[in-house]
Amino acid sequence: MAQRKDKSQAMREKILNTATQLFIQKGSEKTSMQDIAQTAGISKGAIYHHFKSKDEIVLAVMRSRQELMEEEMKQWLKATENLTGREQLQTILKSNLESQTARAIDGIVDEYEQDAGFILTMMRDNLRIGAPLVSDIIKKGMADGSIQTQYPDQAAEVFLLLVNFWMNETVLESDPEKMPERFHFLQFMMTSVGMDIFNDELMQLFSRKNKA
């Protein structure tokens, strides 16, 4: 029984790994179940045994990537203990904005912009996984004096929602010409709650990301 369970888990991971690579290469919208099956060297029936639809695969891929990013962030935090909390947040943002994988994930979110249930699930998962880590960084910044806020947990949640969703002009439709105003308002808002983390370099990266 245990061996059968291990094989089932291995097959599920194979499907998700294959789908992830295809989504990164060509986008989820242009990736079919047949593409996943052919690339993985399995039948479509094997895929449907584990996933009811491509949408279910997409959601599983997104959750898997978020959990992987959580583990990577934990390791990264240990390796950057010498930085202040403010510097850690800036470095995380810079890395995320420059990441090809993060860009591909944004592309998946864009393709599901009309699916309110999907977007809501992504918001909840984003907060569930990311908020505790960001809150810890903010608390570190409070301790070292680089961040001044009275509400680290709430600031972490607002930070994630604004950066990952409000600043995504596809999720929340916005005139591209007005995006610079959003950048500056985000900078103003975070500074007003004691999180002065958006320097010129980050603002330029945000701008380039939305023009891509």
Domain contains 44? no
Domain contains 184? yes
For the chain, the domain total comes to: 1
Domain contains 173? yes
pTM above 0.85, yes or no: no
pLDDT more than 70, % of the chain = 84
pLDDT of 168 above 70: yes
Domain contains 197? yes
Domain contains 91? yes
CATH number, domain at 124? 1.10.357.10
Domain contains 103? yes
Domain contains 88? yes
Q: Answer yes or no: are the C-beta atoms of 168 and 59 closer than 8 Å.
A: no
Domain contains 124? yes
Q: Which domain holds residue 104?
A: 83-210
pLDDT tens-digit series, residues 124-159:
888 988 899 999 999 999 999 999 999 999 999 999
The pLDDT value recorded for residue 106 is 59
pLDDT tens-digit series, residues 31-54:
999 999 999 999 999 999 999 999
